[in-house]
């Protein structure tokens, strides 16, 4: 019998069964009761366990907000914006994915509702739907499924999909409907659902309360999703009685209820989840083999972190410290940098707006190193420049990242090179001594062409994003840190060092220790813009600024070279 509405045909109706098209298995992770439960960390830790048993694993984040990406979102509300090698601006959870799996993510690893709807509307404008009525089901849900299946690869065994938001949020409904359909499309044994829920413990009565989890699963089941596994997040391991109660009322086997307890060190999570048996249950349901994961690297890492014998204090002068996640990757990278030196890194955060010439010495007293991170806009820049001057004059190890480099150049130009009005075009568009300027075009190593940017571009499309090459100068601190002459680092900025002032600043003692693009990727037929990527000071123990974001490539078991060198210098500061 013909369909009444042919427009309602879905991907699964018109193609061979999805389960036959790839060997990739999918794990869908949802969350309930409240936000910030740790879906990203739990997913990443589980992914690391699956990788540790020899499987090829990747991850994807589905975020329900309508922004095209997090690139224009305020870090004080949403946390840091993480950048991938291919230039995607993503949610900070992708940082967790990369740090736990030590596998690079791509723009396919991050989709927002805004991006999904934008793609649907673009297809409608092109006539792809042949004049049909565009609806959430099937058009939006099919687009979500297509995004998930874009991760499917014969070289991947497992992909974990984290659905952002909380079950019950109206924004999440199209995503949840899409993953409900996906499990039906893929078939049993190729896809499973893990639901992360909050399990409160009432100290007054001395008991766990499973009702929030029951209601969360009830909400999930009302839209057609029955979780295969429930992970309860709580302060304490849940009792066998509580697990049995959850299993009964949520209709899952008792061996499918697990606890993810709070940990002081996030790198304990793979160990805790392994001890709970989560990986074993997942492997059994998806037929991933019985080989146990090798968790000894995580055990070794946690053991090392628990026995650090040294401590070093780093002062961070930033703009977004109101939210703990605003500098998530940076804080992790500093901790990684201390490990090779047996050092625990303590971070003293100072709001840049509070730093002034009359109080900078008191605020930074006792600091063994000073770090100025990235950011946008004029607010707080004077405080950053003041802190940098203090680091330069008092021979305190300094690391400037992105905006931190730009502020270091401004400070040097004003106080050493005699350009008292030196500034950035970002803060003063018509300044004469624009030592930091907006480059309208630059070399794009991916295409071999100059990528032009109109200054009137929207904020989300006017930056140098992603991985770019950099050639290092021998006999510099950068070269010594990397022990290489060619590196690739991730960028996220609109403004550059103005080469017009390069000769003057170099004569005054500024060292250009990194420039890009590197020679092997340049096109000889095109002009060669020498973009300044790293600066140093010749007469300072350790003073370095980089235009890129090295924190995005630091891993707990592979600390980034610049953070290793910075912490080493800080430990040596008297």
**Residues designated catalytic:** 402, 549, 551
The residue whose two tokens read 């396919």 is 108
Tokens of 134: 């565009």
Of 67, 63, 551, whose CA–CA distance to 318 is shortest? 551
Q: What angle do CA 10, 15, 21 make, to 5 degrees?
A: 120
| 447 exposure class (CB count in 10 Å sphere: 0-12, 13-18, 19+) | exposed
Sign of CA dihedral 199, 201, 202, 208: positive
Q: Can you spell out the DSSP letters for 273-329? A: HHHHTHHHHHHHHHT--SPPP--HHHHHHHHHHHT--EEEEEEEEES-TTSGGGGHH
Question: Which residues are CB-neighbours of 134 under 8 A, at least 6 positions away?
Answer: 120, 121, 124
Of 564, 398, 539, whose CA–CA distance to 481 is shortest? 564
Strands (E), 152-190: 158-163
State how far the Cα of 261 lies from the Cα of 187, in Å rounded to an integer. Answer: 32
State how far the Cα of 566 lies from the Cα of 571, in Å rounded to an integer. Answer: 9
C-beta separation of 149 from 207 below 8 A = no
C-beta separation of 258 from 276 below 8 A = yes
State how far the Cα of 226 lies from the Cα of 184, in Å rounded to an integer. Answer: 12
State how far the Cα of 204 lies from the Cα of 565, in Å rounded to an integer. Answer: 49
Count Cβ neighbours within 10 Å for each residue of 304-325 and write b for 16 or more, e otherwise: ebeeeeeebbbbbbbbbbeeeb
The neighbour count for residue 71, using CB atoms within 10 Å, is 17
The residue whose two tokens read 């999440």 is 172
């Amino acid at each position: 019998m013909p369909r009444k509405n042919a427009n309602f045909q879905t991907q699964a109706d018109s193609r061979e069964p999805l389960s036959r098209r790839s060997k990739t298995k999918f794990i869908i992770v949802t969350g309930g009761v409240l936000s910030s439960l740790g879906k990203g960390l739990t997913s990443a830790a589980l992914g690391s366990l699956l990788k540790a048993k020899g499987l090829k694993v990747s991850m994807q984040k589905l975020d329900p907000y309508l922004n095209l990406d997090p690139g224009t979102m305020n870090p004080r509300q949403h946390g840091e914006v993480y950048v991938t090698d291919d230039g995607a601006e993503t949610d900070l959870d992708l940082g967790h994915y990369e740090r736990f799996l030590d596998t690079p993510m791509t723009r396919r690893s991050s989709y927002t509702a805004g991006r999904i709807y934008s793609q649907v509307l673009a297809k409608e404008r092109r006539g792809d739907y042949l004049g049909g009525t565009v609806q959430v089901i099937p058009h939006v849900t099919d687009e979500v499924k297509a995004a998930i299946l874009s991760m499917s690869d014969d070289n991947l065994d497992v992909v974990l999909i984290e659905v952002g938001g909380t079950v019950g949020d109206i924004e999440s409904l199209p995503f949840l409907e899409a993953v409900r359909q996906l499990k039906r499309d893929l078939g049993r044994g190729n896809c499973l659902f893990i639901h992360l829920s909050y399990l409160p413990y009432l100290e007054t009565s001395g008991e766990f309360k499973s009702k929030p989890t029951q209601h969360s699963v009830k909400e999930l089941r009302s839209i057609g999703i029955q979780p295969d596994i429930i992970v309860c997040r709580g302060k304490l391991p849940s009792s066998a009685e509580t697990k049995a109660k959850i299993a009964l009322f949520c209709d899952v086997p008792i061996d499918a209820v697990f606890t993810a307890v709070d940990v002081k060190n996030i790198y304990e999570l793979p160990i805790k989840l392994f001890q709970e048996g989560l990986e074993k249950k997942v492997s059994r349901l998806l037929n991933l083999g019985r080989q146990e994961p090798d968790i000894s690297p995580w055990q070794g890492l946690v053991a090392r972190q628990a026995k650090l014998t040294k401590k070093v204090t780093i002062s961070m002068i930033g703009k977004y410290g109101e939210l703990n996640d605003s500098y998530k990757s940076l804080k992790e990278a500093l901790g990684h940098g201390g490990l090779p030196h047996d050092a625990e890194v303590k971070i003293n955060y100072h709001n840049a707006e509070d730093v002034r010439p009359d109080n900078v010495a008191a605020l930074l007293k006792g600091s063994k190193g000073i770090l100025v991170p990235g950011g946008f806009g004029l607010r707080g820049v004077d405080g950053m420049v003041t802190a940098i001057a203090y680091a330069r004059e008092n021979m305190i190890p300094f690391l400037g990242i992105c905006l931190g480099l730009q502020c270091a150049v401004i400070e040097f130009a004003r106080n050493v090179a005699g350009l008292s009005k030196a500034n950035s075009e970002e803060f003063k568009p018509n300044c004469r001594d624009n030592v930091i300027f907006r480059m309208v075009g630059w070399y794009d190593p991916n295409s071999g062409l100059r990528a032009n940017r109109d200054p009137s571009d929207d904020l989300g499309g006017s930056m140098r994003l992603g991985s770019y090459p950099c050639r290092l100068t021998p006999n510099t601190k950068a070269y010594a840190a990397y022990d290489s002459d060619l590196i690739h680092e991730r960028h996220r900025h609109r403004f550059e060092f103005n080469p017009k002032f390069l000769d003057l600043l170099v004569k005054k003692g500024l060292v250009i220790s990194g420039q890009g693009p590197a020679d092997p990727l340049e096109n000889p037929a095109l002009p060669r813009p020498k973009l300044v990527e790293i600066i140093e000071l010749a007469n300072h123990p350790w003073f370095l600024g980089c235009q890129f974001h090295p924190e995005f490539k630091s891993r707990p078991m592979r600390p980034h070279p610049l953070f290793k060198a910075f912490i080493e210098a800080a430990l040596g500061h008297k």
